[in-house]
C-alpha cells in the first residue's frame, strides 16, 4: 500500500477527529454510568457470595436476601455495566469506522438517561420483591422494561442513522457485529418478555438468555476486539475472510443454541438435540475468531507489556475462545449430566461475562477514554494493579467454582450420597469465591478512581500526560501512552 498524499492524510485525520468529537458526550455518559453500575454490581455480588457461606449474615433485611441481591447483581452487571459500556464503545466505534459524525448525539444522551432510569426502577424493584420470575428477565416488564426499550432505541436509531449516512462503502467486520447486535437485541428482548406459560415459558426464557449472551454481549465485544487488536498492533487481522465467515456463521446458527440450558428437562428431545448440535457447530465461528485474533498477535506478544488496551483485549479474546469451547463441551449430554445445576455453570458464565466481556470492555475504555478526555491516564501503576487484581480475581473465582462444581455434580449423581454432601463439598469454593469477589471489587474500585482522576484532572493540562516521547506504556511508571490512534 503506498502512502496516501499529504492532503488525503490530513483529511483522514480530520474525519476521525470530527467523528470522535460527535460521539464524545454520549460515550462519556455511558461509560461513567457503566462504571457506577460496575461498583454497585460488585457490592451486590459480594454480598450474595457471602450469604452462601454465612447464610444468616443478611437475614435482617428483606432486600438483602440471597435471591434478591444475587438477582440485583446479575442485572446490574449485564444491563448496567456491560450493556452501558457496550453502548459507549459502539457509539464511539461506528462513527470512526463509517467516517461520519454520529447522528443525533443528544438522542443517544437521552438514551443513556432513559436506560439508567429503567435500571434504577428495575433493580430497585427486584430488591423490593418485584420480579418477573424469568432468569435474565427479572426486571418488571411493566414499570422498568419500557424505559430500557426506549433507551435502547435512542442508541440504536442514531447508530443506524450514522450507518445510513456513511461515507465509506465497505462495512468493516466490527460494524457488522455491532449493528447486528443492535438489530438482534430489541427483538430478543421483546420476545423474551412475552408472557408465555408452561414449558414454552422455559424454552423462550433460555432462547432469550442464551442469545442475549451470544447475539448481544458476544457480538459487540468480538466486534470491539476486531477493532482494537489490529489498531494497536498496526497490522490488519490475520484473515479478514475468516472474520466474516465467523460473523455469518454466528448470525445463522447461534439462535438455535439456547435449549442446551434445559438438557434432561421436560422439553421435546428434538429441540434440545438441535441446540446441542448447534452448540457444537459454534466451533466454526469460535475457531474463526480465535485463529484470527491469535494469528494477528502472534510474534508480537511483547506488545502486551506496553499497551493496557491490548493486554485486556487479548486476554478477553482468549477467554472468549476458552468459554466457547467450554460451553460446547458442557452442552454434550455426558458432561452436562454432571455439571448441570452446579457451581460449574456459575464459573462458566463468569469466564464469559467477566473474562471475556468485561476484559474487552476494560481494554476498550483504556483506549477510548483518554482520547475523549484529551489527556492520558494519570498512572500506569494503577492500570497494572487493576489488571492483576482482575486477572487474579477471576482466575481464583473460576478455578474454585469449577472444581467444586464438578465435585457437587458427582455427588448429586450418586444416589446413595446424601444431599448434604453436595452442599458441603462446595463450601471451600464458596469461601474462595468471596475472596475472589473482594479482589475483583478492589480492582474495580481502583479503575473507577482512575477514571475519575482522568476526567477530573485540571483543565490546563490540555495535553500533558505525554511526558514521554516514547510510547512506553504499562511497563514503566509514569505516563501512559499508546503509539497510534
CB of 38 to another protein, least distance (A): 21
CB of 450 to another protein, least distance (A): 18
CB 221 within 8 A of CB 316: yes
Q: Is the dihedral of CA 205, 206, 210, 211 positive or negative?
A: negative
Please identify which residue in the block is written with the cell numbers 516521547.
Answer: 469
Nearer to another protein, 47 or 389 (CB): 47
Nearer to another protein, 374 or 478 (CB): 374
CB of 98 to another protein, least distance (A): 9
d(CA 256, CA 274): 7
Nearer to another protein, 389 or 406 (CB): 406
CB atoms within 10 A of CB 315: 21
d(CA 87, CA 451): 18
Nearer to another protein, 201 or 384 (CB): 201
Nearer to another protein, 36 or 271 (CB): 271
Nearer to another protein, 36 or 240 (CB): 240
CB of 267 to another protein, least distance (A): 5
CB 84 within 8 A of CB 117: no
CB of 46 to another protein, least distance (A): 15
CB of 311 to another protein, least distance (A): 12
CB of 114 to another protein, least distance (A): 26
Please identify which residue in the block is written with the cell numbers 459524525.
Answer: 101
For residue 471, what are the contacts with CB-CB under 8 A and spacing of at least 6?
306, 481, 482, 483
d(CA 145, CA 153): 12
For residue 145, what are the contacts with CB-CB under 8 A and spacing of at least 6?
118, 122, 139, 189, 193
CB of 438 to another protein, least distance (A): 19
d(CA 142, CA 135): 17
Nearer to another protein, 55 or 395 (CB): 55
Nearer to another protein, 270 or 458 (CB): 270
Question: Hey, what's the torsion of the CAs at 135, 110, 365, 20, to 10 degrees?
Answer: 150
Q: Look at residues 88, 23, 100 and name the one whose alpha carbon lies nearest to residue 364.
A: 88
**Cell (9 digits) for 412:** 448429586
Amino acid at each position: 500500500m503506498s502512502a496516501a498524499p499529504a492532503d488525503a492524510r490530513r483529511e483522514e485525520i480530520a474525519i476521525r477527529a470530527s467523528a470522535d468529537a460527535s460521539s464524545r458526550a454520549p460515550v462519556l455518559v455511558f461509560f461513567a454510568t457503566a462504571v457506577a453500575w460496575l461498583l454497585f454490581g460488585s457490592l451486590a455480588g459480594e454480598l450474595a457470595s457471602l450469604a452462601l457461606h454465612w447464610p444468616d449474615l443478611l437475614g435482617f433485611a428483606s432486600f438483602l436476601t440471597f435471591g434478591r441481591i444475587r438477582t440485583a447483581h446479575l442485572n446490574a452487571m449485564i444491563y448496567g455495566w456491560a450493556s452501558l459500556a457496550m453502548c459507549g464503545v459502539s457509539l464511539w466505534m461506528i462513527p470512526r469506522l463509517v467516517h461520519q459524525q454520529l447522528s443525533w448525539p443528544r438522542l443517544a444522551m437521552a438514551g443513556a438517561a432513559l436506560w439508567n432510569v429503567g435500571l434504577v426502577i428495575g433493580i430497585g424493584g427486584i430488591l423490593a420483591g418485584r420480579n418477573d420470575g424469568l432468569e435474565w428477565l427479572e426486571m418488571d416488564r411493566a414499570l422498568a422494561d419500557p424505559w430500557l426499550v426506549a433507551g435502547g432505541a435512542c442508541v440504536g436509531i442514531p447508530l443506524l442513522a450514522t450507518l445510513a449516512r456513511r461515507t465509506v462503502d465497505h462495512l468493516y467486520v466490527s460494524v457488522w457485529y455491532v449493528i447486528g447486535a443492535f438489530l438482534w437485541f430489541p427483538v430478543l428482548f421483546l420476545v423474551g418478555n412475552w408472557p408465555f406459560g408452561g414449558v414454552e415459558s422455559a424454552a423462550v426464557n433460555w432462547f432469550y438468555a442464551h442469545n442475549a449472551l451470544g447475539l448481544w454481549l458476544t457480538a459487540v465485544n468480538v466486534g470491539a476486539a476486531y477493532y482494537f487488536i489490529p489498531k494497536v498492533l498496526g497490522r490488519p487481522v490475520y484473515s479478514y475472510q475468516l472474520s466474516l465467515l465467523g460473523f455469518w456463521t454466528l448470525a445463522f446458527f447461534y439462535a438455535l443454541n439456547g435449549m442446551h440450558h434445559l438438557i434432561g428437562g421436560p422439553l421435546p428431545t428434538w429441540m434440545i438435540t438441535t441446540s446441542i448440535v448447534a452448540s457444537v457447530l459454534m466451533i466454526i465461528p469460535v475457531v474463526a475468531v480465535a485463529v484470527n485474533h491469535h494469528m494477528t498477535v502472534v510474534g508480537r506478544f511483547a506488545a502486551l507489556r506496553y499497551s493496557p488496551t491490548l493486554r485486556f483485549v487479548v486476554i478477553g479474546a482468549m477467554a472468549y475462545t476458552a468459554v466457547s469451547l467450554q460451553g460446547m463441551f458442557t452442552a454434550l449430554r455426558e458432561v452436562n449430566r454432571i455439571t448441570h445445576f452446579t457451581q460449574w455453570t456459575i464459573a462458566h458464565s463468569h469466564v464469559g461475562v467477566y473474562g471475556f466481556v468485561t476484559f474487552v470492555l476494560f481494554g476498550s475504555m483504556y483506549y477510548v477514554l483518554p482520547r475523549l478526555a484529551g489527556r492520558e491516564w494519570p498512572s500506569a501503576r494503577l492500570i497494572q494493579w487493576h489488571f492483576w487484581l482482575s486477572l487474579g480475581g477471576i482466575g481464583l473465582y473460576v478455578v474454585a467454582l469449577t472444581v467444586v462444581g464438578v465435585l457437587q455434580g458427582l455427588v448429586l449423581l450418586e444416589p446413595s450420597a446424601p444431599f448434604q454432601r453436595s452442599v458441603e463439598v462446595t463450601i471451600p469454593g464458596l469461601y474462595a469465591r468471596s475472596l475472589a469477589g473482594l479482589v475483583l471489587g478492589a480492582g474495580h474500585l481502583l479503575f473507577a478512581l482512575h477514571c475519575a482522576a482522568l476526567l477530573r484532572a485540571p483543565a490546563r493540562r490540555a495535553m500533558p500526560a505525554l511526558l514521554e516521547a516514547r510510547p512506553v506504556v504499562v511497563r514503566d511508571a509514569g505516563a501512559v501512552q499508546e503509539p497510534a490512534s
